[in-house]
Structure 1
């Protein structure tokens, strides 16, 4: 296993790469931004995380937003849905992700696995926000047995059909995060994920809606989840796993 470089992704994907803070390289954490965003905020997040043993790769979505809105999206097309509160048509993150599946399949299989020696089920973690979180869950349900997924404000996409899902229950460890008020991550959506994945935990932030963690207290459960995976070998050696 070796550290990926920008040249590995040339012509494949737009990424930023943050090397492990300390320790031997054991995992790759892919950060997937929300709809209409770029890799810039998650590049800053990657540097602030300072994770041991993990290369953190912010991946830019493949589809530019239409109508000169700026930013990028993961959906095959933009989807609008009716806001239950206002009744207005609003941009929905719940789209079909056929193009994103191919794009991330190439990143994981051709770059991380074949070029760099990572094994998806053992070494690859996806952390997504909003639409990026939905893509992460879609990949874990329909494409790869991954090591883990951190989903902030995401759920199993509505376009996923039972025939798409393979090898139930999926072995990927999943952490579902959202606000404790007006969250789109409803109890029903959590139950759906729990039916698909062998390990599925839920975290509620003290916030209105579903934002990325804003402070150390909100970030703590995500870091505990990740560090439990990243230092699993040490814990096993000490008899603490």
Structure 2
């Protein structure tokens, strides 16, 4: 049975989502967007509309837990975590001894929320998508960490795009699913003060055979793509999954 476009009524009433239909049919894929620490759904709803992807429903999901201390926004972690900033430089105005808010956290609640309520109960059971071949998760920062954690511990997905996120340090080796692990992985980050270290990339490569890193020159820290050139590697990665035949015809695969 062909998958169908999700509606808001398909999701639990507590789940804040936006749904952008595909730019062209047939509907064959579901792309899920997960925001970063302290953010909300609105920027990722706008991103979904700008992407205008063929053959893919794009669903932005808001994290279920509000930030504490009236900080605004939402987060995916079981709790808020502070740690030392490993990218702080002596030339920085920040004191190296200062604790900073970290996206790294335990994601037990996020696993249950994304895996059970979003993926299994809604995207698969109600809408008919196949996890291993038709579901892509694109997360930013803490959202990217959740996406990698889901692909590592719960099920193979068609692909994961993690912008500025790595495998959470709380993801236990015993929880990682057994091979084969077929998810295609793309991890992006900057080249200045990036938290996507060589060791974190190697950890991902040990889990997934198809793991690509994109390092943006002249980008400070690990930001979302800021222009067409920076978005291009992500779009190529996506379109090779969504419309491979069309790309082959154009010699772009």
1:198 counterpart SS class: coil
Residue number among 72, 88, 95 corresponding to 2:74 in the alignment: 72
5 Å matches for 1:63-212? 63-84=65-86, 85=88, 86-105=96-115, 106-206=117-217, 207-212=219-224
CA contact (8 A) 1:32 1:58 kept: yes
Question: How much has 1:62 moved relative to structure 2?
Answer: 1.2
1:137 counterpart SS class: helix
Query: Structure 2 length normalisation: TM-score?
Result: 0.91
Query: Structure 1 length normalisation: TM-score?
Result: 0.96
Question: How much has 1:57 moved relative to structure 2?
Answer: 0.4
Q: Distance in 2 between matches of 1:56 and 1:195?
A: 29
Question: How much has 1:169 moved relative to structure 2?
Answer: 4.5
Question: How much has 1:83 moved relative to structure 2?
Answer: 2.1
> Unaligned stretches of 5+ in structure 1?
none
Aligned twin of 2:234: 222
Question: How much has 1:34 moved relative to structure 2?
Answer: 0.2
**Alpha-carbon displacement from aligned partner over 1:74-116 (angstroms, at most 9, x marks no partner):** 0000000012422201111100000000000120000010000
**Alpha-carbon displacement from aligned partner over 1:121-179 (angstroms, at most 9, x marks no partner):** 01100000000000000000001110000000000000011100012352100001000
**Alpha-carbon displacement from aligned partner over 1:173-206 (angstroms, at most 9, x marks no partner):** 0001000111100111000000001200010112
Q: Distance in 2 between matches of 1:58 and 1:142?
A: 22
CA contact (8 A) 1:82 1:90 kept: yes
Q: Distance in 1 between matches of 2:237 and 2:22?
A: 17
Asked if 1:37 corresponds to 2:39, the answer is yes
**Alpha-carbon displacement from aligned partner over 1:7-66 (angstroms, at most 9, x marks no partner):** 111425210000001121010000000000001100000000010000000000111111
Question: How much has 1:237 moved relative to structure 2?
Answer: 8.7
Q: Distance in 2 between matches of 1:229 and 1:97?
A: 28
Aligned twin of 1:47: 49
1:21 counterpart SS class: coil
1:115 counterpart SS class: coil
Asked if 1:213 corresponds to 2:225, the answer is yes
CA contact (8 A) 1:177 1:203 kept: yes
Question: How much has 1:225 moved relative to structure 2?
Answer: 0.1
Q: How many residues align?
A: 241
Q: Considering only aligned residues, what root-mean-square deviation do their CA atoms show, in Å?
A: 1.6
